[in-house]
Amino acid sequence: MCGIVGYVGDGDATRVLLSGLNQLEYRGYDSAGIAVSDGGGEICGDGGVDANGGVSSDGAGIDVRKRAGELENLEAAIESGAPTGSVGIGHTRWSTHGPPTDRNAHPHTGETGAVAVVHNGIIENYRALKEALVDAGRTFESDTDTEVVPHLIEQALADGADPETAFRRAVSQLEGSYAIVAVFEGVDALFAARNDSPLVLGVGDDGYHVASDVPAFLEFTERVVYLEDGETVVVRGDGATVRDGDGDVVEKAVTTVDWDVEDTGKSGYDHYMLKEIHEQPTALRQCLSGRVNELDGTVELPEVDGVPAPSTVHLVACGTSYHAALVGAARFREAGTPAQAFLASEYAVRTPPVGDALVIGVTQSGETADTLAALRAARSRGARTLAVTNVVGSSAARECDDAVYIRAGPEIGVAATKTFTSQVVSLSLLVERLAGSATGSEASRERLAALRDLPGLVQQVLDESAAAAVAEAYVGRDGYFFIGRGPNHPVALEGALKFKEITYEHAEGFAAGELKHGTLALVTERTPVIAVVTGDDAAARKTVSNVKEVEARGAPVIAVTDGRAGVAEYADHTLALPDAHPSVLPLLANTQLQLVAYHVANRLGRSIDKPRNLAKSVTVE
């Protein structure tokens, strides 16, 4: 949720930190801050600890600036005189403990101001730690759990510890999830630790970076070191020393990410979300590239060559990824493999018997806390785990036995768009690869041919969509209902989720057959019903009957359809889908619903890329 940046090197720390925070705005936040020191000392120099418990320095101190609200508020606070120095940390906060105020914003300091700390995650035992610190005479200024950390560090410094020892001693007392970075007065280094919250190092030409996500430092370097749970690191301008939980030095590999900094720009679009909707054809081509052999109806996924055909599949996910998991589970069942999608937050606390099930975690970021907890619960019961994710080197990818990457490229908008379609296609490929009975069949060849055509079909929808006109006709209604049956049910759920995420209007998605069981009481002439109807089978005909029910009660109907079931006859507006194989029609319908949500939100003047209260990567349970 929150964003962390840190820098130590030869450059201007303030400029580097603000650049990183700008790149992390997409994660969602409600306050921001930086702390900068001009360093000037060694980690274990002769200065030792002064009488106040602070590290001896040349007196420059740590300059902390932080403000509630948008990043521009912080930038305004810096205009009158930016902090100067070559060592610093920054943070965008998404509130968990205490409201979004200046004093609750990060970074946090103790009483001496000798150390400043930023933190992602939740410190579960902070109350007990805080009570002990207060009993020892320390005064707290914020409502946050984070503030215990600088106080613990200062306490260790006062007891004679050097900075690294003080930092490690403080971290050892914490319980919960955290990514923590600290800067000390007069010390040319950053001190960082992670546990159940992402943290990566960037190896640059003029210094080292620390961040919660790679895009924070892509402007400066593409060389990355991924930290593991339980590790701490001392980061200097010319290198970093990583230690495990026992204090032993760990050798870490440096990898190069294949994201280009240009990929994270808007490329002329008004919003990242609109850009990413239009990037779907490219993302799908990347997802499919080198993986499909249409001639013999097979899929090449070397990542899972060692995975046997599963007898049972559990898919665990949250939010949009859960809707993709629903599609994946249905496709496994169609291929003859029992499968079920679970909300990761429920699976983690009520893990069903796994037996010899393959447990698949579907997570865009690879850092979603509930999904990681579900995967860990499954592994603890002996299950084989597989991650379907967008981020190479993410926690899910590293912790699972196997990983399949969706190759969608960086997604900056909080509301997932191109990653949903790439997740569904990746899961479809996984089904073809693992459900051996279908591989090489005529039906398999038809499905793979449909996937080959999908990027062009999505482009056709983007080029011809009437979503903007439909959005204009239905702005400001009392509520919006999205319905669909079978493979269109997850699309209805996803359409409603997108709509509510960025418009802030009430929207509900459900299986069309449930319309009569409660929701019909809410249907009026001011509640548009968006019906996804594809094909002309029994499910489509029954959905047309549901459309007639709401039409009879005065509700306006928007049909998202390929036209085969004749639903347009009963609709006030139609969003047309091109002729396509049944397996890809739901994804084409999803593109139309993404555009409707975007245009309604834009018409209402909403913060489309950074919707209120939401975060891109949900790293707390």
**Angstrom distance (rounded) from CA 581 to CA 583:** 6
**Angstrom distance (rounded) from CA 306 to CA 308:** 6
Reported as half-sphere exposure (CB side, CA atoms, 13 A), residue 494 has a value of 33
Q: DSSP code of 307?
A: P
Instruction: Give the 3-state secondary structure of residue 355.
Output: coil
Which residues lie closer than 8 Å to 29 by C-beta, 6 or more apart? 1, 2, 3, 71, 92, 93, 94, 610, 615
* Contact present, 316 and 362 (Cβ < 8 Å): yes
Catalytic residues: 2, 616
Q: How many CB atoms lie within 10 A of CB 72?
A: 10
Nearest to 594 by CA among 548, 532, 551, 542: 532
Instruction: Please give the single-letter amino acid code of residue 582.
Output: P
Q: Which residue has the tokens 């006709």?
A: 473
Reported as half-sphere exposure (CB side, CA atoms, 13 A), residue 109 has a value of 22
Instruction: Please give the single-letter amino acid code of residue 167.
Output: F
Could you write out the three-class secondary structure of 214-228?
A: HHHHCCCCCEEEECC
Q: Cα separations (Å) of 462 from 182, 272, 281, 417?
A: 46, 16, 10, 13
One-character DSSP codes across 84-117: --SEEEEEEE--SSS-S-TTTSSPEE-SSSSEEE
**Angstrom distance (rounded) from CA 263 to CA 413:** 13
